[in-house]
Copies of this chain bind each other. A is one copy, B any other.
């Protein structure tokens, strides 16, 4: 598989996240994507809260999820996550959700940085853009 994720985090399915089909409700996956983003960014100088302290908010502008297999109560789901497509105010995250060896979902989200007060788009701060670029740089062989 060419799709490699250098960063992983995990969630355990909460009972409150299940629905009457006996599986995690599909809207919950967007919450897990967000948890994974926050964990991913936490390595970089204050993470998402650090971004907010600089007066920058990150909006979610688009979200996509494919559900390939169910997730059930109390199962541990590993989430591979990476940031791609940094360009001006915009960036994108991709996600792979696995339970053991099974890919149970994948997806991506689009984001834009805005001034926290005016909601006017603003470039991804340089410190963060550089840290993400370095983190996602392919290893040389």
Chain A's interface: helix, strand, loop or mixed, by majority?
A: mixed
A135 to chain B, nearest CB (A): 20
How many A residues are at the interface, by size bracket? 35 or more
A123 contacts across to B, CB distance below 8 A: none
* A4 interfacial by beta-carbon distance below 8 Å: no
Closest partner residue, chain B, to A11 (CB atom):
B14
A63 engages B62 (CB within 8 Å): no
Chain A 15-38, CB within 8 Å of chain B: the 1/0 string?
110111111011110110011001
A86 contacts across to B, CB distance below 8 A: none
A20 CB contact (under 8 Å) in B15, B60, B66: B15
A63 engages B64 (CB within 8 Å): yes
B21 engages A16 (CB within 8 Å): no
Interchain CA distance A31-B60 in the complex, whole Å: 16
* A48 interfacial by beta-carbon distance below 8 Å: yes
A-to-B contact residues, CB < 8 Å: 14-16, 18-23, 25-28, 30-31, 34-35, 38, 47-49, 57, 59-67, 70, 72-74, 119
